[in-house]
Chain A
Amino acid sequence: MIVANNLHFKQGNFVIEDLSLSFPKGEVTGIVGPNGSGKSTLLKLISRLLQQDSGAIYIDDRDLLSYKRKELARKMAMLVQLKEAMPSFTVREMVSYGRTPYQNVISGKTDEDQQIIEWAMKETGLTQLEDRLVHSLSGGEQQRVRIAMALAQKTNILLLDEPTTYLDIGHQVELMALLKRINRELGITIIMVLHELQYAAAYCHHMIVMKQGKAFTSGIPNEVLTEDLLKQVYEIEAKIIYDGNYPSIIPKQY
Chain B
Amino acid sequence: MQKLRNRRRWLIFWVLLFSLIISVYIGLSFGAASVSINEMIQALRGQGDEVFQTIVVDLRLPRVIIGLFVGACLAASGAILQGVMKNPLADPGIIGVSAGGGLFAIITMLIFPEYGYLLPVAAFFGAFLTTLLIYALAWDKGASTVKIILAGVAMNALLGALMNGVMVLYSDRVQSVLSWLSGGLNGRSWYHLEWMLPYAVLGIILCLFAIKPANIMLLGDDSARLLGQNVELIRLMLILLSSFLAGTAVSVGGLIGFVGLVVPHMIRLLIGEDYRFLLPLSMLGGAALVVYADTAARTLFDPIELPVGILLACLGAPFFLYLLRRRRMA
Is A100 a contact of B273 with CB atoms below 8 Å? no
Q: Which residues of B contact A74 (CB under 8 A)?
A: 228
State which of A77, A80, A101 has its C-beta within 8 Å of the C-beta of B222. A80
* Bound Cα distance from A40 to B71, whole angstroms: 46
CB-CB < 8 A to B213: which residues of A? 105
A156–chain B nearest beta-carbon distance, Å = 15
Chain A residues whose CB sits within 8 angstroms of the CB of B226 once the complex forms: 47, 49, 73, 77-78, 80
Cβ–Cβ contact B1 & A97, under 8 A: no
Q: In this complex, what residue of B is CB-closest to A81?
A: B222
Q: For A86, give the chain B residue with the smallest CB separation.
A: B219
How far apart sit A88 and B228, CA to CA, in the bound complex (Å)? Answer: 22
Contact check, B274 vs A89: say whether CB atoms are below 8 A apart: yes
Give the shortest distance, in Å, between A214 (CB) and chain B (any CB). Answer: 25
Known contacts A89-B274, A106-B209, A131 near B2 by CB under 8 Å: yes
Q: Which residue in B212, B227, B273 is a CB contact (below 8 Å) of A101? A: B227
Residue from the set A97, A100, A132 with the largest chain B CB neighbour count within 10 Å = A100
**Is A87 an interface residue, CB under 8 A from the partner?**
yes
A69→B229 contact, CB < 8 A:
yes
Chain B residue nearest to A44 in the complex (CB):
B222
Please, what's the 1-or-0 string for A60-102, where 1 marks a CB less than 8 Å from any CB in chain B? 0000000011111110011010011001111001000110110
Q: Is B54 an interface residue (CB 8 A)?
A: no
A88 touches B273 (CB 8 A): yes
Chain A residues numbered 204-218 whose CB sits less than 8 Å from any CB in chain B: none
Summed over the interface, the residue pairs from A and B with CB atoms below 8 Å come to a total of: 59
Q: By the criterion CB–CB under 8 Å, are B274 and A88 in contact?
A: yes
Q: How many residues of A contact B (CB 8 A)?
A: 29
Distance between Cα atoms of A131 and B215 in the complex (Å): 18
Residues of A within 8 A of B17 (CB): none
A153 adjacent to chain B (CB < 8 Å): yes
Binding site for A on B (CB under 8 A): 1-2, 5, 209, 212-213, 215-216, 218-220, 222-223, 225-230, 272-274
Chain A residues with CB under 8 Å of chain B are 47-49, 68-74, 77-78, 80, 83-84, 87-90, 93, 97-98, 100-101, 105-106, 131-132, 153
Given contacts A80-B222, A80-B223, A80-B226, 12 further A-B contacts (CB under 8 A): A68-B228, A69-B229, A69-B230, A74-B228, A78-B226, A87-B273, A88-B272, A89-B218, A89-B274, A100-B228, A101-B228, A106-B209
